[in-house]
A = this chain, B = another copy of it.
């Protein structure tokens, strides 16, 4: 039994508490109080697994942990309020290092008027940073991934694959790429699309996912959760100028599989697309249409992508099968 099977096995199929609205299975969990849905998510980062001295300094570790968490709030359309920090600190870590992690957390927290409201600091062998974020949204306005409908347009914010390319540059210590710092910054200091997602509030229905595991995985999640078929096109996936220096194969690998861009992918009714586009403009959020949604019984739950004039099935892992 692998980890995912295991998590699936403990996933409750019914909720015990009348307040619980959504458990495991979206970008964050939801419970209801009065006129609000409370949205909460936890992300855990381990030294040597999610980062290393080569890829991030303590400030960046803190900044990025909360950025990832905020991205989950954006993907739910929630207004972030406050966060809790659980940290396991190894003996070789100095107070200065620890202060830098908190400074990183606080720097991005300030941008979104977020309060640090609790935590637990304990000693251990390996640095573990676990951040729990809390937010709220008007009831029934959570942007679940199962809310996609037939004939919707699929859009994506920003550009894709930059974070994966940035990480690769850090690990390979390559330096002949123009705009390398841009790509590296996209890995270390991603911008959660909070302002854009919050402004979408007047729109009745939108399905949103944040791109933490690569667009291939996120599109499949949307298709599976909504039991519909997504058609996309590699030519429409947004690529940054620096990323264009890589071979097209490498670009596609980063774009489809490379996660942690923390952009948003969403599904919206055609009639609402002009409003989405306008809000994107107002919040200085680059946005493009990358596909559409079809109700097609034999393919529902899957994603198809056009590449070199041929439609192929796009698997979660991002590999484009030729049959």
Closest to A102 in B: B10
Binding site for B on A (CB under 8 A): 1, 3, 6-7, 9-10, 12, 15-17, 19-20, 22-24, 28-31, 33-36, 38, 40-46, 48-50, 81-82, 84-88, 95, 98-99, 102, 106, 109-110, 113-126, 128, 130, 132, 134, 136
A-B contact pairs, 5 of them (CB 8 A): A10-B116, A19-B82, A28-B118, A40-B132, A42-B84
User: Do A134 and B46 touch (CB < 8 A)?
Assistant: no
User: Do B44 and A10 touch (CB < 8 A)?
Assistant: no
User: Do B34 and A82 touch (CB < 8 A)?
Assistant: no
Rounded to whole angstroms, the CA-CA distance of A12 and B36 in the bound complex is: 26
User: Do A114 and B17 touch (CB < 8 A)?
Assistant: yes
Residues of the B chain whose Cβ atoms lie less than 8 Å from the Cβ of A84 = 29, 40-42, 132
Partner of A130, one of B1, B31, B120, B134: B120
Q: How many copies does the complex hold?
A: 2
Residues of the B chain whose Cβ atoms lie less than 8 Å from the Cβ of A46 = 88, 122-124
User: Do B31 and A33 touch (CB < 8 A)?
Assistant: no
User: Do A122 and B49 touch (CB < 8 A)?
Assistant: yes
Closest to A10 in B: B102
Residues of the B chain whose Cβ atoms lie less than 8 Å from the Cβ of A86 = 42-44, 86, 130, 132
User: Do B126 and A125 touch (CB < 8 A)?
Assistant: yes
Closest to A23 in B: B117
User: Do A117 and B20 touch (CB < 8 A)?
Assistant: yes
User: Do B20 and A122 touch (CB < 8 A)?
Assistant: no
Closest to A119 in B: B42
Partner of A17, one of B9, B48, B82: B82
Residues of the B chain whose Cβ atoms lie less than 8 Å from the Cβ of A98 = 6
User: Do B33 and A110 touch (CB < 8 A)?
Assistant: no
Residues of the B chain whose Cβ atoms lie less than 8 Å from the Cβ of A22 = 117
Residues of the B chain whose Cβ atoms lie less than 8 Å from the Cβ of A50 = 122
User: Do A116 and B40 touch (CB < 8 A)?
Assistant: no
User: Do A6 and B99 touch (CB < 8 A)?
Assistant: yes
Task: Add 20 more A-B contacts to A19-B82, A24-B116, A40-B134 (CB < 8 A).
Answer: A6-B121, A7-B119, A12-B116, A16-B113, A16-B114, A17-B113, A20-B117, A24-B118, A28-B118, A30-B117, A38-B134, A41-B118, A42-B86, A43-B86, A46-B123, A46-B124, A50-B122, A120-B130, A124-B126, A132-B132
- Shortest Cβ-Cβ A-B pairs, 7 listed: A34-B34, A29-B117, A33-B36, A29-B118, A23-B117, A44-B120, A16-B113
A144 smallest CB distance to B (angstroms): 14
User: Do B102 and A44 touch (CB < 8 A)?
Assistant: no
User: Do A115 and B12 touch (CB < 8 A)?
Assistant: yes
Interface centre among A38, A84, A118 (most CB of B within 10 A): A118
Residues of the B chain whose Cβ atoms lie less than 8 Å from the Cβ of A125 = 48, 125-126
Knowing A12-B116, A117-B40 touch, does A81 contact B123 (C-beta < 8 A)?
A: no
User: Do A1 and B33 touch (CB < 8 A)?
Assistant: no
Rounded to whole angstroms, the CA-CA distance of A116 and B16 in the bound complex is: 10
Knowing A24-B116, A31-B134, A46-B122 touch, does A1 contact B128 (C-beta < 8 A)?
A: no
